[in-house]
Structure 1
Amino acid sequence: MKLFISKQNSKLKKILSILFWLVVWQMTSQIVHQELLISSPILVLKTLASLIFEISFWKTVFYSVFRITSGFLLANLFGIILAILSYRFATIRFLLNPLISFVKSTPVASFVILVILWFGSKNLSIVISFLMVFPIIYTNTLQGIVNVNQQLVEMAKVFRIPFLSKFIYIYMHEVLPFYYSSCLIALGLCWKSGVAAELIGIPSGSIGERLYEAKIYLNSAELFAWTFVIILLSISFEKLYLRLLAYIKTGIENSV
C-alpha cells in the first residue's frame, strides 16, 4: 500500500513539475509577445495536432526512426561482438583502442561532412548514430566481460556446465549491468546525434529536413512541435528498450 502511494505521489510530482514549466513557457510567450521568437504552448499543440493528420508527417517520422534505431542496433551488435573478440584476442583490443579513442574525440560535425562526401546524405543518420553509440557499447561491454567473476567460470568448468547455460547465467548475468548503464547514455545520444546529422545533411524526408524548413520559414511553432516529437520518440524508445533489458535481467536472476 505504501509503495502504491509512493508511486502515485511520484507521478503527481512529475505532472505538477511539467505543468509548472508549461505555465512558465506560456507566461514567457505572453511577455515577449512575439510568436516568431517563442510560440505559446497552445499554438505549438495546435500545430502538432494539425501535423499528425498529414501522411507526410508519419512518413517523416518513420524515415528518421528507422534510420536512427538501425544505427543504434547495429552499434550494439558490432560493439558486443568486438568486445567479446577483444577480450579473447589481445591483438584485436590493441588495434581497436586507437580507433575507439578517435571516434570518441572527433566532433559529430566532422563525421557528418565526411559521410556526406563519401556516401551522400540518404543514410547519414544511420552512420552517425552508429558512430556515436558504438564506442560506448564496446567499452562498457568489454569492461563487463573483464570483470566477470573468474571463480564462477572455473566452477562451471569443474562441473562441466553447458556453454549456453554458462553464457546466460554467468556472462550475461555479470555483463548486463555494465551494458545497461551504457544504454542509459547511448540511447539519448543516438537520437541527439542522429537528428543533428539530419539537420546538417538535410536528407529528403527526414525530421532534420522539417526542422531546417521551420528555421528557413521562421516557423517557431512548427520548430517546437517537431522538437516535441523528437523528445517523445527518444523517451519512448529509451523506455521500451530499457524495459526489455530489465525484463531479461529479471528473468535471468529468477532462474539462477
Structure 2
Amino acid sequence: MKFIFKILKDFPKYLFSGLTSIASIFLFIALWDMANQLYGTLVLPSPKETFITLYELLNDEIIYGEIKLTIYRAFYGFFLSLIIGTILGVLAGFFVTASIMSRPIVTILVGMPPIAWIVLAMIWFGISDKTVIFTVVIASFPIIFVGSLQGTRTLDSDLKEMAQSFNLPFKMKLFDIYFPHIFSYVFPAWVSALGMSWKIIVMAELLSSNSGIGAQLAIARSLLDTPTALALVIIMIGSLLFIEYIILEPIKREVESWRD
C-alpha cells in the first residue's frame, strides 16, 4: 500500500515530466495541418475535421464495445506472452544450454512477419478471437523472452559471489540483487511488447475479424472514410499513451529508484 500511495503522491511530477512530449504532439499536429493543406481532405483530413469525427465516435455507444473488445484481446494475448516469455527467458538465462538452444527459435519468431502468422492462424483457428490472440502472443513473446534472457545472463558474477560469501538470505538476494537488475531489462521489453501487441491486434482484427477497432478500420477503408480511420487511429494511440505514461511509467520509476 505504501508503494501505491507514493506513486499517487508523486503523480504530478510524472505528469510534468511529460510536458515536453505534449509539446512535440502539438508540433506534430501543426505539421499535420500543413500536410492537409498540401494534399487535400481525401488523402489527409485536417486535425479539426478528424477531432470532430473523433468526438462523434466517442458519443456513439457502439464504439465503446468495439474498444473494450480490442483491449480485451490485446491484453489477454499480451499477458499470456508476458507470463510465458518472462518465465522461459529467466530459466533460459540461468542455463547456458537452454540459452544456446533458444537462439535459432527466437530468430525464426522475430524474423517471421506477423502477416504470415495471421494467415496461418486463420487456417488453424478460423475467424475467431483465437486467431487474433494467437497472433499477439506469437509476435510479443520473442521481445519479452529476449529481455528476460539478457537480464538474467548479464547478472554481475562478482555480485553473486559476494552475496553467497556473506550468506545473504534468499529473500534479500532475490529482491535486492536479482530482481532490480533483471527488471531493468524485462520492463522495457514489456513496454515494447505492449506496443507491438497494440499494433498487431489492429492488423489481425482488420484481416481476420468482423469486430473490434481493426474491423471498424476495415469498414472505414472500404468507404474511403479517411476522417473516421484517423479518428480510430487516435483512439488507439491515446489508449497506448495512457497505459504507458500514466500507468507503467510511474511504476517503472519507483521500481528503478535504486539506480539513483
Coarse TM-score class (shorter-chain normalised): 0.7 to 0.9
Three-state SS of the structure 1 residue aligned to 2:129 is: coil
Structure 2: 5+ residue stretches without partners: 1-11
Measured after TM superposition, the shift of residue 106 of structure 1 is: 0.5
Determine if contact 1:116/1:124 at 8 Å carries over to the other structure.
Answer: yes
| SS of match in other structure, 1:38 | coil
Aligned pair partner of 1:229 in 228, 232, 235: 235
> Which of 145, 165, 169 is the equivalent residue of 1:162?
169
Q: Give the letter for the 1:114 counterpart.
A: L
Percent same amino acid among aligned pairs? Answer: 26
Instruction: Report the more deviating stretch, 104-113 or 177-186.
Output: 177-186
> Structure 1 stretch 86-95 or stretch 115-124: which is displaced more?
86-95
TM-score, normalised by the number of residues in structure 2: 0.83
1:210 is aligned to 216
- TM superposition shift of 1:44: 1.0
Q: Which amino acid aligns with 1:51?
A: L
Deviates more, 1:237-246 or 1:72-81: 237-246
Alignment of 1:39 onto 2:33: no
Counterparts of 1:126-145 in structure 2, within 5 Å, are: 126-145=133-152
Residue 225 to residue 150, structure 1, CA distance change in 2 (3 Å): same
Q: Aligned partner of 2:130: which letter?
A: N
Which residues in structure 2 correspond to 1:174-189 (within 5 Å)? 174-189=181-196
Is 1:116 the equivalent of 2:119?
Answer: no
Alignment deviations for residues 172-208 of structure 1 (CA, whole Å, 9 cap, x no partner): 122122223323433322211221222221x232111
Cα RMSD between the aligned structures? 2.5
1:197 counterpart (179, 199, 204): 204
- Separation in 1 of the partners of 2:250 and 2:84? 22
Match of 1:74 in 2: 80
Question: How far 1:160 sits from its partner (Å)?
Answer: 2.8
Greater mean alpha carbon deviation, residues 228-237 or residues 115-124: 115-124
Q: How far off is 1:10 after superposition?
A: 7.8
Whole-angstrom distance in 2 between the partners of 1:48 and 1:102:
39
- Please report how far the alpha carbon of residue 42 of structure 1 lies from its aligned counterpart in structure 2 after TM superposition: 1.2
> What corresponds to 2:9 in structure 1?
none
TM-score w.r.t. structure 1 length? 0.85
Measured after TM superposition, the shift of residue 16 of structure 1 is 4.8
Once the two structures are TM-superposed, the CA of residue 8 in structure 1 deviates from its matched residue by 7.0
In structure 2, relative to structure 1, the CA distance for the partners of 1:40 and 1:95 (3 Å cut) is same
Structure 1 contact 122–204 (Cα < 8 Å) conserved: no
- In 1, the alpha carbon distance for the partners of 2:50 and 2:124 equals 38
Q: For the Cα contact (< 8 Å) 1:144–1:179, is it kept in 2? A: yes
Kept in 2, the 8 Å contact 1:180–1:242? The answer is no
Whether contact under 8 Å (1:64, 1:125) holds in the other structure is no
Residue 96 of structure 1 aligns with which residue? 102
The alignment covers a number of residue pairs equal to: 245
Conservation of the 8 A alpha-carbon contact between 1:199 and 1:209: yes
Instruction: Please give the per-residue CA displacement for 1:189-235, whole angstroms capped at 9, x wherever unaligned.
Output: 2211221222221x232111000000011111100100111111122
Offset of residue 246 of structure 1: 2.3
Are 1:54 and 2:72 counterparts? no
**Structure 1 unaligned spans of 5+:** none
Distance (whole Å) between structure 2 residues aligned to residue 144 and residue 196 of structure 1 = 30
